[in-house]
Amino acid sequence: MTAAPPVSAVAGLIQLAIAPVFLVAGIGAILNVLANRLARVVDRVRTLERGLPGFAPDERGRARTELRTLSRRMRLVNWAITCCTASALFVCLVVADLFVTALIDLGSGRPIAALFVLAMALLIAGLLLFLLEIRLAARSLRVREELLKD
């Protein structure tokens, strides 16, 4: 049976785990923004769907175009949320693996590095999807501004 690690070793592991924990907090803030954007899109879809039967034919066409754009935005935000959530989960696995590897004295940092790289790749993907959703939203607003000009 192996001896329990000294308290100083566990304290050192906790210090190592602090940076990834802050990263999880940052990802949580990003997820909050994404969830709010998704909620606003869903609210707009519900409003348009409720009013669609009463719209004039030309308004109905514009509403359907907007609904298609909103549908694309919802898909992008959903994928961004999925990627960011998976990223946070992998960061949590990094923290857990730090402790397990040190406590069992495995000595190999490759799984930890691989998990961290995967977490960063998923975070990058989530942020890129977020950027695409923002660009799509801005582009649809730009079209509406042009329609208002005579």
pLDDT in tens, 65-90: 999 999 999 999 999 999 999 999 99
More confident site: 110 or 17: 110
Instruction: Work out the pLDDT band at 28, boundaries 50, 70, 90.
Output: very high
Q: How far apart are CA 111 and CA 74, in angstroms?
A: 34
pLDDT for the residue numbered 17: 75
pLDDT of residue 137: 94
pTM for the whole structure: 0.84
**What pLDDT score was predicted for residue 150?**
64
| Residue 52 in this model has a pLDDT that exceeds 80 | yes
Over 60: is that where the pLDDT of 33 sits? yes
Q: What is the mean pLDDT of the chain?
A: 89
Average confidence (pLDDT) over 16-41: 93
Contact partners, residue 108, CB within 8 Å, separation at least 6:
101
Share of the chain above pLDDT 90, in %: 61
What average pLDDT does range 32-57 have in this prediction? 95
CB atoms closer than 10 angstroms to residue 88: 23
